[in-house]
Structure 1
């Protein structure tokens, strides 16, 4: 058995255990009875299933004899249900909005309490700490408002508490600061007054929380500025490419230097693989691999907000563990830090994000097991 096949089987087991748990079943049943639902495509934005999977599902449906395929088909069915009931980032179920622009549902108090209970079991609520005392590399994930500052602070506190972080990377993006209400600038100006995008927020957070000094921004794509589409961007023929902001097509890095002059890590900003939308966590993980050159078996700590831990762990398994054999550990701080609202709507929305990430991970794992690469 090859290492990648072994990792693929591990992935199938982990995702199956999480997605097919009693808590997930209870959450789906609860939401289906209390949400109006949306008659929109269940796949996210301009996503498509690979042709081999479409053909396989048409041939086998739920009747496949392969256990990995059965798990994948069940998770797809879960995603289809969750897409109807867990989506709160728009009123019509399809318009793209950032998380801070989510809408509210008409839940009673008892329903809200049950949603918190079930999502706690699924790992979205209670904070987690590292499994190991030392890591080769630590990835602080980007976000908006105060998330970059708080996640970087959590990583710094872990280090102060004795966890060896290794090289520290802050993963940002060229996403512009939100100007619609609630606007970001009144919040981010407290720690990053000159910021115009998420990359700037992460750079400011590294300076404040770790005392690191950023060197001048380097364009990893080789361009001189972000004012024009990057000629090396690989998605210029994709649907939506004509509407993508030029800034979303470039890759950037700020090297971070400690007070003793040694390089401690860097802030990086990925280009998007899903035009015209901003880059996502998966895009940034892919850039980080090319930038940091990690090796099989290295321990990587991912730091985020707890509500995103399942979703971003699955993304890490897909981008870092499955193809590269990195030992991924994702941790987050709880709602007492005031980063994200602990509302029923938010918890359901991020459960949907985790389900979608789990399905993408399973697609890649099943492709390995069926020798589709």
Structure 2
């Protein structure tokens, strides 16, 4: 089970052709780790199916076996009660998840990007990711032209606010482990020392708020910019059609935008990841060939990377790379142990995202380069 080689995700680099993308997607869905996961649930990955048929088969298979959210009524990810798996299956899932890009080390690319996009999520993730984005920029690990935090008007739930309070006595592990994390002194200097020190005060600020409020709070703390220099938003009551844009200009560093995207299907659902990509692109009009670095959590890298290729790469001609934040990088955090069922859920998300991307690729001529 431990001998898997990493399975590369499809490339969003410049010059990646349609055929390259098809090959990358096909390699991922036919990979040995995914085959073994399917076998662990009593089936065999079909070899004679065309890629589009295989993705439809995997979508249906994962819906029956790995969609734990729907079993609980399509709840939020953190509301799903853990489903215990047999120890051998759980070990396989974790090993396969690392090979498929959902876990394990995530190297931070060094270089120049035109845009750094920080994706939203639960309240704590919003603060973690904006803080990590500030560290990347402040240390010069990556050089970026602009930063954008992408969220929506999803209401924050009381349990999200409660989880912002750090347990007493958390030190983040032993000294050797902390030495491998971002420089805590620099983090404190760059975000004014406030990112997690005043957790109770921060929780109070977010009570009754929205995901975009958590993103704004994280940006203000991490980048040291107390108020936006520009602000626009939709009028009326908050619905799935609502949107907002705030622009911050820190004393040092790039311009930072915080956007709440509307849903492209407001009658049936709230905004999702692809909607936030589209809204950002419509707002800033990235130049063809613009280099975009997407920052999310490691667990979501495969599906959000494929969504970025579909929307920003094929739709706007951007070059896309995606990295995942390890929560253990932050002072005051310990390692986060996820249930094996969480990995299966997000492998399903990746399958669905790959299927959506493949559907767009099927409409493009062979050899097409965005």
Normalised by the length of structure 2, the TM-score is 0.76
Which structure is richer in relative contact order (CA contacts within 8 A, separation 6 or more)? 2
* 1:249–1:63 distance in 2 versus 1, CA, 3 Å: same
Instruction: Map 1:136-175; keep pairs closer than 5 Å.
Output: 136-159=114-137, 160-175=139-154
322-331 vs 97-106, which moves further: 97-106
**Aligned pair partner of 2:300 in 301, 305, 308:** 308
> Does 2:41 correspond to 1:31?
yes
Tell whether the 8 Å contact from 1:130 to 1:329 is kept in structure 2 after alignment. no
* 1:269–1:32 distance in 2 versus 1, CA, 3 Å: farther
* 1:8–1:296 distance in 2 versus 1, CA, 3 Å: same
Secondary structure at the aligned position of 2:68 is classed as coil
Quote the offset at 1:115 in angstroms.
0.5
Encode CA deviations 1:180-210: one digit per residue, 9 max, x unaligned. xxx1122347235322000000000001111
Q: Gapped runs of 5+ residues in structure 2? A: 1-13, 166-198
| Alpha-carbon distance in 1 for matches of 2:40, 2:48 | 27
Tell whether the 8 Å contact from 2:52 to 2:358 is kept in structure 1 after alignment. yes
* 1:211–1:125 distance in 2 versus 1, CA, 3 Å: same
2:346 is matched with which residue? Answer: 350
2:184 is matched with which residue? Answer: none
Secondary structure at the aligned position of 2:322 is classed as strand
> Does 2:188 correspond to 1:210?
no
Tell whether the 8 Å contact from 1:90 to 1:102 is kept in structure 2 after alignment. no
* Structure 1 ranges of 4+ moved more than 4 A: 337-341
| Alpha-carbon distance in 1 for matches of 2:293, 2:336 | 21
| Alpha-carbon distance in 2 for matches of 1:32, 1:193 | 48
Secondary structure at the aligned position of 1:134 is classed as strand
2:171 is matched with which residue? Answer: none
Tell whether the 8 Å contact from 1:303 to 1:330 is kept in structure 2 after alignment. yes
155-164 vs 199-208, which moves further: 155-164
1:39 is matched with which residue? Answer: none
Secondary structure at the aligned position of 2:264 is classed as coil
Tell whether the 8 Å contact from 1:304 to 1:333 is kept in structure 2 after alignment. yes
Tell whether the 8 Å contact from 1:318 to 1:361 is kept in structure 2 after alignment. yes
Tell whether the 8 Å contact from 1:257 to 1:263 is kept in structure 2 after alignment. yes
* 1:198–1:217 distance in 2 versus 1, CA, 3 Å: farther
145-154 vs 282-291, which moves further: 145-154
Secondary structure at the aligned position of 2:131 is classed as helix
Encode CA deviations 1:292-321: one digit per residue, 9 max, x unaligned. 110111110000110000010001001011
Tell whether the 8 Å contact from 1:130 to 1:301 is kept in structure 2 after alignment. no
Q: CA RMSD in A?
A: 2.7
Secondary structure at the aligned position of 2:216 is classed as helix
2:91 is matched with which residue? Answer: 113
Secondary structure at the aligned position of 2:364 is classed as helix
| Alpha-carbon distance in 1 for matches of 2:294, 2:77 | 20
Q: Gapped runs of 5+ residues in structure 1? A: 34-61, 65-69, 228-245
2:287 is matched with which residue? Answer: 295
**Aligned pair partner of 2:247 in 229, 239, 255:** 255
Normalised by the length of structure 1, the TM-score is 0.76
Count, aligned residues: 309
> Does 2:98 correspond to 1:88?
no
| Alpha-carbon distance in 1 for matches of 2:123, 2:42 | 32
2:20 is matched with which residue? Answer: 10
